[in-house]
């Protein structure tokens, strides 16, 4: 009896071949009391199925009987095979138990592919019974698109190795499709034939989804990587483009500055020029660093190895730092052997050593130690050590120190962009070297460089030139910046007094800025009217603000040790400092940070570069508010006025810098605090008072109107205003209608105001304007409290109004400057377009031999790209061949003497090595002795043309005698040919009348022999003979005239008459050739002026040509049509049409050329003479093929009416 199988799922850890434990799911079922059959997932080290606790035997099932039930098997067991049958039955049970335990669908088919077995998983997944899956039922759940593919895969396995595998989609019992892996293998019998197929279906839907997710993730990563690469390329190109675009204006900034520094200017001017030069050179160094980074990332860095004495080179570079060492009292030691020959790129080594020494001097304090040591190690590497006694580099930053743009926290005060050490590392590694950093015995940083002493095998090495070593290219800039930073850091400044006292009653301003030059610039901008305390970072600024409370703080944002925003928040959190006005001045254009700081109480946030006047005015306004607060605090307390209200009003007025808004704010505050009904603001411009604005109270609201008007009795009491102007004192009339000094004023008499108040607006004893207010309320409307507030507002208003006017002037100047700059940019753009579109090469250059900018034509001439130019690889000096360098030197001498030179010819060596001849003209830029512009004209085509012309002249001279001989022979041949053609033509033309004379003579003889003679007929024959003789004479005469070039003898003719005469003359040819001749003549044709004989000759020639064209026998009719007509232009036209072979298109354009013929016996002059005759009659002759057979020749002649008009 078969036992019931109960699935037993579990998870356990399995030890793999690597001795690692792995958690794995398992499934088992009980088959009998002695064993379990189980499975776990397939892996690289575990089989799909296994039997636990009992050795297994694989039975080779060769027939379907192997899968019968135990009861069926009992019927075929006999005594002889009873043991085997028992074993078979046991194997069947074990196989069936194992198949039910696995999580896959197990199947068996016969050799023909018909299913004979499915395990229970089939029914659980597909919802189909095992019986439904028998035979071809296995393909029921297959996706329709996969069935054919599955069948073809099985056929392929059947025909090959008997292994069946594919992935396809199977439908579950809920109708959803999932991906399954179908695996099968054939079982062969003793003869090698397939008896059965065994296999499994494994659900791989989750694996497929994972693979798709992984593929999507891979695609996203690849896309992100490609975008990152593109971004890096864009960044590199942007660095190159921006840096290149900045080099030109920087050059044009430095050139005038250096020119001015060479003059004897006042010390203050020289100081400011040196400041501008120092910062411009610093910016130029940063731009050069960016260009190096761009070239490195683009792979454009090239190496030029030279034989070099490294010991001499190191000593030379180090000697340039000796003066700086003395200035900072640093013990600077250089240790190097007498000589060390190496092969290196000297220019890049100079950059490496200059950068490292520059860093050492930057971070080593005064009185410190710096050591530069050169030696060769056991691996034949040149080793350079740079050690100092500075703060050193902690281990946390030693891996990051060589990254681009990285700066150690707290070191920002030393300046720089974080590119120097990155460039050092790149320049060392590109020469197959290594650079490391550690701690030096001196206590600071130790940089160690190892470089191969020899160039790579096969690399060209330039021989060492025995010349004096020049200063490294970047050393001058580095030392300038070092000295500038040292000077700025040590520049003495009078310290502010400790405590809370003020010197001479001046306001105290705390300036916090890490850049020494910017700190000094802000202090100079504030002027001598204030007392100034300075700090280099936020921490120092906070400490100084706490020790001595300033009236105003002006601070940078990005600073070492503590940023400006952090300092601001610490100050706002301090009870003693929370009300100190705070202005942030920074290069960090962060709009979110700006709004955040303004919300937290900062009074302003200025972006560098800022307008100095704007900073000065805002500082003065805020300081004036602070001073006014102290001045009027006591007065407000005595007048029992809310001090907060006064401060708020004063701050509102001082906080406005825009003129129109300031006026509106001032009048609104004045009217509201005074309770006035009407007010006027009067300002003094050009010595005369003018009304700037008027305010009126309507329905409890103050309405301000900006208007400019003259002061008249209609607007206000003139006597009151004059008194205020003269005395600089306020006028208060509690009751203007009472008898006072001003009661007789015309305005008072007419308007009758009750209370009047007029306040002067005075700044430093200068009358700026006046504030006039009046009220129709009961007398005494303006109380002492109102007047106190208004005095404060008026005092602050005088300052703010003057500042606003100054700011308006600055804005106007800025607008004009911006307009001028815009116009300049447009002019530069037009010039740039002109330069770029010019057919002449143009480039900007410097005396160092470099090309700083150029148009496309010059780049084409020189063979360089725009990227090469931006990378600094184009130099006019190294493009010049040695034999032309003296010409360039001479041109430079002339330029230094007069600023311009004459054009001269030379050659340039292109990037590809070829030479190009050019014409060069150059000039210095105005005000510069180092930078200029040059114009280059490519002479290649001219030189090639000259060479070709010379060769042609030589060839022409060589063949001149042959040409003369040929000309003589040709002239002789032309004369003979023309004579023969002319003779043939004359013979033809004269033959006609001579034939008629002979025929008439014979007829005359016959008539004379007649008995009796017939005199009338004889007379007619003789007359005809005379006429034909004259005609022959005319033909000969016309031929002579034509030969000599005489004009035709034109008379009045009828074209149809000429055609009839020609028909009579050609009757014999027409008859002899059996041609059908037809005439189609238009009646009433206008007469024409022409030479009858010559026109007859033309028509006869055309008729004879037509007859000859039909001389060859053919199938078609042989017809000749002569036609006359008048065209729309009143010209007369004669046409001769034949039915011959027509005109060969290849010959159509040459028919009327002299000596051209298609006849075997012709000379080619007939049609040429015809054209000459017709053109002499102002006509035209042409030919064309007919639509069918043959061709038509036509002549077109002007009629007498048309000729007369002509």
pLDDT, tens digit, 9 for 90 and up, residues 1088-1111: 999 888 888 888 888 888 888 887
Can you tell me the mean pLDDT for 392-407?
75
Contact 1099, 1061 (CB under 8 A): no
pLDDT at 989: 60
Can you tell me the mean pLDDT for 957-979?
58
pLDDT at 1135: 94
Among 364-378, 423-437, 810-824, the range scoring the smallest mean pLDDT is: 810-824
Question: In this model, does residue 1123 exceed pLDDT 90?
Answer: yes
819 part of a folded domain: no
DSSP 8-state symbol, 768:
E
827 part of a folded domain: no
Are 910 and 927 members of one domain? yes
d(CA 66, CA 100): 17
Residue 473 vs residue 1199, higher pLDDT: 1199
Domain that holds residue 908: 839-947
Can you tell me the mean pLDDT for 307-314?
90
HEC string of 1155-1204 equals CCCCCCCCCCCHHHHHHHHHHHCCCEEEEEECCCCCEEEEEEEEEHHHHH
Are 286 and 315 members of one domain? no
d(CA 821, CA 823): 5
Question: In this model, does residue 8 exceed pLDDT 80?
Answer: no
Are 602 and 510 members of one domain? yes
pLDDT at 1086: 92
Are 256 and 202 members of one domain? no
As for how many domains the chain has, the answer is 8
Can you tell me the mean pLDDT for 1051-1080?
86
Residue % of the chain over a pLDDT of 90: 9
Q: Could you tell me the pLDDT band of residue 393, with boundaries at 50, 70 and 90?
A: confident
369 part of a folded domain: yes
Are 1081 and 1140 members of one domain? yes
Q: What is the CATH number of the domain that holds 60?
A: 3.30.450.20
Stated length of the chain: 1206
Q: Could you tell me the pLDDT band of residue 1188, with boundaries at 50, 70 and 90?
A: confident
Residue 539 vs residue 734, higher pLDDT: 539
Question: In this model, does residue 889 exceed pLDDT 90?
Answer: no
Q: Last residue of some domain: 189, 210, 231?
A: 210
Report CA dihedral (958, 964, 969, 970) to the nearest 10 degrees.
100
Q: Could you tell me the pLDDT band of residue 1117, with boundaries at 50, 70 and 90?
A: confident
527 part of a folded domain: yes
pLDDT at 63: 37
Q: Could you tell me the pLDDT band of residue 15, with boundaries at 50, 70 and 90?
A: very low
Can you tell me the mean pLDDT for 587-602?
80
Question: In this model, does residue 75 exceed pLDDT 90?
Answer: no
547 part of a folded domain: yes
Q: Could you tell me the pLDDT band of residue 385, with boundaries at 50, 70 and 90?
A: very high
Q: What is the CATH number of the domain that holds 347?
A: 3.30.565.10
953 part of a folded domain: no
Q: Could you tell me the pLDDT band of residue 1179, with boundaries at 50, 70 and 90?
A: very high
pLDDT at 268: 76
Look over the chain and give the mean of its residue pLDDT values, rounded to a whole number. Answer: 76
744 part of a folded domain: yes
Which residues sit opposite 168 in a β-bridge? 180
Q: What is the CATH number of the domain that holds 592?
A: 3.40.50.2300
Q: What is the CATH number of the domain that holds 677?
A: 3.30.450.40
Q: Last residue of some domain: 246, 275, 301?
A: 301
pLDDT at 660: 82
Q: What sign has the CA pseudo-torsion 997, 998, 1003, 1004?
A: positive
Are 310 and 441 members of one domain? yes
Are 585 and 538 members of one domain? yes
Q: Could you tell me the pLDDT band of residue 694, with boundaries at 50, 70 and 90?
A: very high
Are 188 and 240 members of one domain? no
Among 71-75, 144-148, 198-202, 995-999, the range scoring the smallest mean pLDDT is: 71-75
pTM: 0.38
Helix, strand, coil shares of the chain, percent, nearest 5, are: 45, 20, 30
Are 586 and 662 members of one domain? no
834 part of a folded domain: no
Are 626 and 602 members of one domain? no
pLDDT at 252: 64
What would the pLDDT profile of 1004-1057 be if each residue is shown by its tens digit? 777 777 778 777 777 777 777 777 776 666 666 655 555 555 567 788 999 899
pLDDT at 292: 67
Question: In this model, does residue 667 exceed pLDDT 70?
Answer: yes
Q: Could you tell me the pLDDT band of residue 54, with boundaries at 50, 70 and 90?
A: very low
Are 26 and 141 members of one domain? yes
Q: Last residue of some domain: 1009, 1028, 1046?
A: 1046
- CA 224 centroid distance within chain: 22
pLDDT at 493: 47
Are 259 and 205 members of one domain? no
pLDDT at 88: 59
Please choose, from the candidates 925, 823, 933, the residue with its C-alpha nearest in 3D space to the C-alpha of residue 253. 925
Question: In this model, does residue 1193 exceed pLDDT 90?
Answer: yes
Question: In this model, does residue 43 exceed pLDDT 50?
Answer: no
pLDDT at 653: 63
d(CA 427, CA 349): 8
pLDDT at 1155: 67
Can you tell me the mean pLDDT for 684-690?
80
């Amino acid at each position: 009896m078969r036992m019931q199988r109960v699935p037993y799922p579990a998870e356990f850890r399995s030890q793999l071949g690597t001795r690692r434990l792995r958690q794995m799911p398992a499934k088992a079922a009980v088959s009998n009391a002695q064993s379990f059959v189980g499975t776990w997932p397939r892996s690289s080290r575990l089989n799909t199925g296994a039997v636990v606790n009992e050795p297994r035997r694989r039975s080779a099932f060769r027939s379907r009987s192997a899968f019968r039930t135990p009861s069926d098997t009992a019927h075929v067991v006999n005594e002889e095979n009873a043991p085997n049958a028992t074993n078979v039955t046991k194997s069947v049970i074990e196989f069936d138990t194992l198949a039910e335990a696995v999580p896959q669908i197990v199947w068996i088919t016969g050799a023909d592919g018909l299913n004979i077995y499915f395990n229970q998983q089939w029914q659980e997944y597909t919802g189909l019974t095992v019986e439904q899956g028998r035979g071809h039922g296995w393909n029921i759940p297959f996706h329709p698109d996969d069935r054919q593919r599955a069948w073809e895969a099985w056929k392929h396995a059947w025909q090959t190795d008997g292994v069946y595998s594919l992935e396809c989609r199977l439908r579950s019992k809920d109708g959803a499709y999932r991906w399954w892996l179908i695996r099968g293998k054939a079982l062969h019998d003793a003869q090698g034939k397939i008896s059965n197929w065994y296999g499994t279906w494994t659900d791989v839907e989750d694996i497929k989804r994972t693979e798709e997710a992984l593929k999507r993730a891979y695609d996203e990563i690849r896309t992100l990587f490609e975008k990152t690469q593109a971004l890096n390329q864009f960044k590199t190109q942007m660095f190159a483009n921006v840096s290149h675009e900045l080099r030109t204006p920087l050059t044009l900034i430095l050139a005038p500055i250096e020119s001015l520094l060479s003059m004897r200017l006042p010390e203050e001017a020289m100081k400011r020029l040196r400041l501008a030069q120092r910062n411009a050179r610093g910016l130029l160094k940063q731009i050069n660093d960016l260009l190096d980074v761009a070239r490195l990332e683009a792979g454009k860095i090239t190496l030029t190895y030279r034989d070099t004495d490294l010991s001499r080179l190191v000593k030379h570079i180090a000697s340039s730092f000796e003066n700086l060492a003395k200035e900072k009292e640093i013990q600077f030691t250089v240790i190097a052997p007498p000589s060390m020959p190496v092969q290196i790129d000297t220019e890049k080594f100079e950059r490496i050593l200059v950068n490292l020494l520059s860093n050492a001097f930057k971070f080593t304090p005064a009185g410190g130690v710096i050591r530069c040591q050169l030696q060769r190690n056991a691996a034949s590497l040149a080793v350079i050590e740079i050690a100092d006694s500075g703060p050193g580099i902690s281990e946390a930053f030693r891996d990051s120190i060589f990254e681009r743009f990285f700066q150690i926290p707290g070191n920002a005060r030393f300046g720089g962009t974080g590119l120097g050490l990155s460039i050092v590392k790149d320049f060392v590694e590109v020469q197959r070297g290594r650079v490391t950093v550690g701690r030096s015995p001196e206590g600071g940083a130790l940089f160690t460089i190892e470089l191969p002493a020899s160039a790579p095998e096969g690399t060209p090495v330039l021989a060492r030139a025995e010349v004096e070593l020049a200063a490294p290219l970047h050393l001058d800039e580095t030392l300038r910046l070092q000295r500038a930073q040292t000077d700025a850091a040590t520049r003495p400044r009078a310290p502010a007094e400790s405590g809370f006292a003020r010197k001479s009653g001046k306001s105290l301003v705390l300036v916090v800025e890490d850049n020494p030059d910017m700190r000094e610039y802000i202090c100079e901008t504030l002027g001598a009217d204030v007392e100034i305390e300075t700090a280099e970072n936020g921490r120092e600024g906070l400490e100084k603000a706490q020790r001595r409370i300033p009236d105003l703080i002006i601070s940078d944002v990005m600073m070492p040790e503590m940023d400006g925003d952090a300092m601001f928040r610490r100050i706002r959190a301090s009870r003693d400092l929370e009300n100190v006005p705070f202005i942030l001045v920074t290069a960090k254009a962060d709009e979110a940070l700006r709004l955040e700081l303004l919300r937290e109480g900062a009074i302003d946030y200025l972006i560098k570069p800022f307008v100095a006047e704007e900073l000065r005015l805002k500082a003065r306004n805020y300081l004036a508010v602070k001073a006014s607060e102290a001045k009027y605090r006591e007065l407000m307390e005595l007048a029992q006025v809310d001090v907060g209200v006064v401060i708020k009003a004063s701050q509102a007025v001082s906080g406005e810098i825009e003129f129109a808004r300031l006026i509106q704010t001032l009048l609104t505050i004045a009217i509201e605090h005074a309770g006035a009904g009407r007010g006027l603001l009067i300002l003094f411009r050009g010595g005369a008072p003018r009304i700037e604005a008027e305010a009126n109270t309507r329905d409890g609201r103050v309405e301000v109107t900006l208007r400019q008007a003259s002061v008249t009795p209609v607007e206000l009491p003139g006597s009151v205003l004059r008194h205020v102007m003269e005395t600089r004192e306020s006028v208060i009339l509690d009751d203007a209608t009472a008898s006072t000094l001003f009661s007789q004023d015309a305005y008072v008499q007419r308007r009758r105001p009750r209370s009047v108040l007029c306040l002067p607006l005075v700044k430093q004893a200068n009358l700026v304007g006046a504030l006039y207010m009046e009220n129709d309320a009961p007398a005494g409307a303006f109380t002492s409290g109102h007047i106190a507030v208004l005095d404060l507002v008026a005092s602050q208003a005088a300052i703010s109004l003057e500042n606003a006017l100054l700011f308006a002037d600055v804005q106007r100047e800025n607008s004009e400057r911006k307009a001028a700059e815009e116009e300049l940019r447009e002019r530069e753009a037009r010039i740039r377009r002109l330069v770029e579109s010019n057919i002449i090469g143009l480039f900007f250059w410097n005396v160092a031999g470099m090309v700083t900018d150029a148009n496309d034509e010059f780049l084409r001439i020189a063979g360089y790209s725009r990227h090469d130019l931006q990378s600094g690889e184009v130099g006019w000096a190294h493009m010049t061949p040695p034999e032309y360098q003296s010409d360039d030197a001479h041109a430079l001498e002339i330029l230094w003497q007069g600023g311009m030179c004459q054009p001269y010819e030379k050659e340039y060596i292109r990037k590809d090595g070829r030479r190009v001849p050019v014409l060069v003209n150059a000039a210095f830029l105005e005000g510069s002795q180092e930078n200029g512009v040059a114009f280059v004209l490519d002479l290649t085509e001219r030189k090639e043309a000259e060479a070709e012309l010379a060769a042609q002249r030589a060839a022409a001279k060589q063949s001149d005698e042959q040409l003369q001989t040929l000309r003589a022979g040709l002239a002789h041949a032309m004369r003979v040919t023309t004579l023969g053609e002319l003779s043939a033509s004359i013979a033809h033309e004269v033959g006609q009348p001579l034939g008629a004379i002979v025929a008439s003579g014979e007829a005359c003889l016959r008539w004379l022999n007649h008995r009796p003679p017939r005199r009338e007929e004889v007379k007619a024959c003789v007359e005809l003979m005379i006429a034909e003789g004259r005609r022959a004479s005319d033909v000969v005469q016309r031929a002579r005239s034509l030969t000599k070039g005489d004009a035709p003898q034109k008379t009045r003719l009828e074209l149809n008459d000429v055609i009839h005469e020609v028909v009579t003359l050609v009757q014999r040819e027409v008859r002899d050739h059996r041609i059908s001749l037809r005439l189609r003549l238009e009646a009433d044709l206008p007469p024409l002026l022409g030479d009858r004989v010559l026109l007859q000759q033309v028509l006869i020639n055309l008729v004879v040509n037509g007859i000859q064209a039909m001389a060859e026998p053919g199938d078609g009719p042989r017809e000749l049509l002569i036609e006359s007509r008048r065209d729309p232009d009143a010209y007369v036209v004669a046409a001769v049409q034949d039915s011959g072979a027509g005109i060969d298109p290849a010959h159509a354009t040459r028919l009327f050329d002299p000596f051209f013929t298609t006849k075997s016996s012709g000379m080619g002059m007939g049609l040429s003479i015809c054209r000459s005759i017709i053109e002499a009659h102002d006509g035209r002759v042409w030919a064309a093929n007919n639509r069918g057979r043959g061709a038509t020749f036509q002549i077109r002649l002007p009629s007498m009416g048309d000729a007369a008009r002509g």
